[in-house]
């Protein structure tokens, strides 16, 4: 049987994306690209207040407008069930009552023969509100606080006693803003009913989860729903839930008895598919003069929606990154009149590590210890809470190799002491961690008389290269060239797969493909009586009068290792700051990542580069602004919501360290989430080194520096 250490050949090679040609030629079809006979178009009408009730809604003019097939409101929408809570299912079903709980809530939908007709008719709907004072401020004493949501608090030892005994204490408050996922592709849903069978083309990160959610919402069996997402135009976590607009597309299709397409506008993306919630984080670090951490206290507060249970942990990385005997980590949610937040790349860890790693940098300067050295002095050789060994951990190598490649030794320790001409130069670094869990996944491989192996799974590929690396894994295990393996993904009718999120799909799907291919080789071996050569597959099928052979595989995380999984990295940033204009530019960046087995060097490096670009945006640019009185998003366009573009992103040097992770048979760790974690604090720490100004609120702007 092939083991992880025996997988060789194509795996690890930086081959081009197998789905690249389809994407650049337009052959790849995204959810908005599917057309049908008698296709109708839906347009949403959204609330212009954040709290209250709909007192009056006049749809007569819209209903009489040219081409309109239906106007749907809470008065005529079908009664729907709320899907069970948990990852991958959405907020309460839409159009079930007249209450308004956030600005931008869907309150009506127009369905017409053309998009233009639906858009024009939607403007004709007149709405009167009974407005109440909204809860919009996280410090509002009326806001309900959610304690220890889903058991996310972490602790060990006695943190207050540790702080009292510490020789040095650093305490500070850090804030991060609301950020919106903003994938390039607008989220779209095309839905149609064939009798009692609902088919949905959707921008989802998990077809099986979307199927389950829609089935529960409409009160039908999962066999009555099919969800397709072979290509998704980016998501960054926004596709992990089944959102109200998806449900509304299906409602519209049933009510007008024809296929319906609903594409969100860019402005609607800001209120319809989640966002990273703002945070206020209080950190206290206690240490000896020699730099030994004796206590860490980290509390975070973030908003959530009134009718949602979304929660994330800001302190999960805090609990495991350093060997510290006394620790308390708490995340609190406060219920506000805001749209539902959701997971965004590096959820919890990205903002949480910003606070922790900036505080560590402050401690390093307070103690006069090099920031890398301080982290090495508190290195956690085993999991600090459980005491169990890591399945693999190469963070020490990340520090050493990253610092060497970056040239950290050239750093002058004194802030504002390095220059390049008129520019202030700063070096900063940060650790990164992301915990992943391999969840069950299934795959099927079929090899026919044409000698082509077809691998199928319901999993999606939102851009990290899943099509490519799974093709490589299957090709290696079957001994076939890449062109004789075809991946088919993104169909809930295929073998069940988890969401593409949480850096877990590569391990889950890779293990399932590994199992299926291994079983298929075993079946061919039984036919041949000896291990077959790849070019004999069709011949063996023909001799036994078979047209094809199939094998199923399922993933299973090893539980016999008594070890903790973890993804680690070290990030190093150089910035140049204009002392007169206070303009900050990231001019160099090195990311050293403990990524387990790297299945494709090119796509893996691309993941780190993309995450780093997102981290630059997090540090210097991205901030979703809302009116403090009304809750209206004020910058819901790409002209006003700034993301990092080519001119903002330097060449990014990526180093992969470590060894295959034995916790799964392919030896991989997911790297999509850890790619962004640690980028913002590395940049913030570099800005302090360059300017001597400690800025604890993101994004770092010229106004703050001036």
pLDDT tens-digit map of 12-27: 788 999 999 999 999 9
Q: How many other CB atoms sit within 10 Å of the CB of residue 451?
A: 16
Query: What pLDDT shows up at residue 6?
Result: 43
pLDDT at 534: 73
Task: Identify the pLDDT of residue 257.
Answer: 97
Domain ranges for the chain: 4-29+438-554, 34-133+182-272, 279-437+562-705
Q: Exposed/middle/buried for 399, CB within 10 Å: 0-12, 13-18, 19+? A: buried
CATH of 34-133+182-272, one of 3.30.450.20, 3.30.1180.10, 3.30.365.10, 2.40.160.210: 3.30.365.10
Helix H or strand E segment including 223: none
pLDDT at 533: 80
DSSP 564: B
Yes or no: say if 403 and 574 are a contact pair by the CB < 8 Å rule: no
| Tokens 């979304």 found at | 310
pLDDT for 90? 65
Residue carrying the six token digits 């290696």: 476
CA-based R_g, the chain, Å: 26
Burial of 182 by CB count in 10 Å (0-12 exposed, 13-18 middle, 19+ buried)? Answer: buried
Residue 349 bears catalytic tag? no
The pLDDT value recorded for residue 561 is 80
Res 677: pLDDT: 98
* The pLDDT of residue 2: 34
- Compute φ and ψ for 194, nearest 5 degrees: -120, 90
Which residues share a beta bridge with 673?
Answer: none
DSSP lists the bridge partners of residue 237 as none
State the Cα–Cα distance between residues 572 and 89, nearest whole angstrom. 37
Domains 4-29+438-554 and 34-133+182-272 are alike in CATH topology = yes
Residue 284 has phi, psi (to 5 degrees) of -125, 125
Which portions of the chain are predicted below pLDDT 50? Answer: 1-6
CATH class for the region spanning 279-437+562-705: alpha beta
Cβ atoms of residues 62 and 117 within 8 Å? no
- Tell me what pLDDT residue 126 has: 98
Short-list 420, 411, 501, 419, CA closest to 682? 411
Confidence at residue 4, expressed as pLDDT on a 0 to 100 scale = 36
CB of 426 closer than 8 Å to CB of 586: no
| Catalytic residue (choose from 299, 312, 357, 673) | 673
pLDDT value of position 85: 61
Global pTM?
0.96
- Using DSSP's 3-state secondary structure scheme, residue 356 falls into helix
Residues forming beta bridges with residue 596, ordered by sequence position = 668
Which CATH fold topology does 4-29+438-554 show? Aldehyde Oxidoreductase; domain 4 (3.30.365)
The H-or-E segment that residue 57 falls in is strand 52-58
Q: At 329, is the secondary structure helix, strand, or coil?
A: strand
């Amino acid at each position: 049987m092939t083991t992880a250490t025996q997988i060789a050949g194509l795996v690890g090679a930086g081959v081009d994306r197998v789905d690249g040609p389809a994407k650049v030629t337009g052959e790849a079809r995204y959810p908005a690209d599917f057309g049908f006979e008698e296709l109708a178009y839906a347009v949403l009408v959204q609330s212009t207040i954040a709290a209250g009730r709909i007192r009056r809604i006049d749809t007569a003019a819209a209903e009489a407008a040219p081409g309109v097939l239906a106007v749907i409101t809470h008065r005529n929408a079908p009664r729907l069930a709320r899907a069970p809570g948990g990852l991958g299912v959405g907020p309460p079903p839409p159009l079930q009552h007249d209450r308004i709980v956030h600005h931008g809530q869907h309150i009506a939908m127009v369905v017409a023969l053309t998009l233009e007709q639906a858009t024009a008719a939607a403007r004709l709907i007149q709405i009167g509100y009974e407005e109440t004072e909204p809860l919009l401020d996280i410090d509002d004493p009326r806001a309900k606080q959610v304690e220890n949501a889903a058991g996310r608090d972490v602790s060990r030892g006695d943190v207050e006693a540790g702080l009292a005994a510490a020789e040095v204490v650093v305490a500070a408050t850090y804030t991060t803003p609301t950020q919106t996922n903003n994938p390039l592709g607008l989220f779209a849903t095309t839905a149609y009913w064939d009798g009692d069978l609902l088919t949905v083309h959707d921008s989802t990160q998990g077809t099986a989860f979307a199927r389950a959610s829609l089935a529960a919402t409409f009160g039908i069996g999962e066999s009555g729903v099919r969800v397709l997402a072979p290509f998704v135009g980016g998501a960054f976590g926004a596709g992990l839930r089944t959102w109200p607009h998806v449900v509304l597309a299906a409602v519209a299709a049933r009510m007008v008895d024809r296929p319906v397409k609903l594409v969100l506008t860019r402005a609607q993306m800001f209120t319809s598919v989640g966002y990273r919630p703002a945070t206020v984080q209080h950190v206290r670090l206690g240490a000896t003069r020699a730099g030994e951490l004796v206590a860490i206290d980290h509390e975070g507060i973030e908003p959530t929606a009134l009718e949602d249970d979304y929660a994330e942990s800001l302190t999960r990385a805090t609990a495991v990154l350093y060997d510290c005997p006394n620790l308390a980590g708490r995340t609190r949610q406060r219920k506000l009149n805001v749209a539902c937040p959701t997971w965004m790349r590096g959820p919890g860890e990205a903002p949480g590590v910003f606070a922790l790693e900036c505080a560590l940098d402050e401690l390093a300067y307070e103690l006069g210890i090099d920031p890398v050295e301080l982290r090495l002095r508190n290195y956690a050789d085993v999991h600090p809470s459980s005491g169990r060994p890591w399945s693999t951990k190469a963070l020490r190598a990340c520090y050493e190799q990253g610092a060497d490649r970056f040239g950290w030794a050239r750093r002058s320790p004194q802030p504002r002491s390095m220059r390049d001409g008129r520019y202030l130069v700063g070096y900063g670094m940060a650790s990164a961690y992301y915990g992943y869990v391999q969840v069950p996944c299934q795959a099927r491989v079929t090899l026919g008389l044409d000698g082509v192996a077809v691998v199928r799974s319901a999993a999606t590929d939102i851009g990290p290269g899943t099509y490519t690396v799974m093709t490589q894994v299957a090709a290696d295990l079957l001994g076939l060239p890449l062109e004789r393996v075809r991946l088919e993904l993104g169909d809930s009718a295929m073998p069940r797969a988890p969401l593409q999120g949480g850096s877990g799909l590569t391990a889950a799907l890779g293990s399932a493909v590994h199992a299926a291919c291994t079983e298929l080789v075993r079946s061919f071996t039984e036919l041949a009586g000896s291990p077959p050569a790849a070019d004999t597959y069709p011949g063996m099928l023909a001799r036994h009068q078979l047209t094809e052979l199939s094998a199923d595989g399922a993933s299973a995380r090893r539980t016999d290792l008594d070890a903790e999984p973890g993804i680690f990295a070290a990030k190093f940033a150089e910035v140049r700051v204009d002392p007169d204009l206070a303009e900050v530019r990231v001019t160099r960046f090195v990311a050293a990542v403990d990524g387990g087995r790297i299945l494709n060097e090119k796509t893996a490096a691309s993941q780190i580069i993309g995450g780093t670009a997102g981290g630059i945006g997090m540090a210097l640019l991205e901030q979703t602004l809302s009116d403090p009185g009304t809750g209206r998003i004020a910058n819901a366009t790409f002209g006003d919501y700034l993301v990092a573009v080519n001119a903002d992103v330097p060449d990014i040097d990526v180093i992969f360290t470590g060894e295959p992770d034995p916790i799964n048979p392919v030896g991989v760790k997911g790297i999509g989430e850890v790619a962004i974690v640690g980028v913002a604090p590395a940049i913030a720490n570099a800005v302090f080194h360059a300017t001597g100004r400690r800025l604890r609120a993101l994004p770092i702007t010229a106004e703050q520096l001036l």
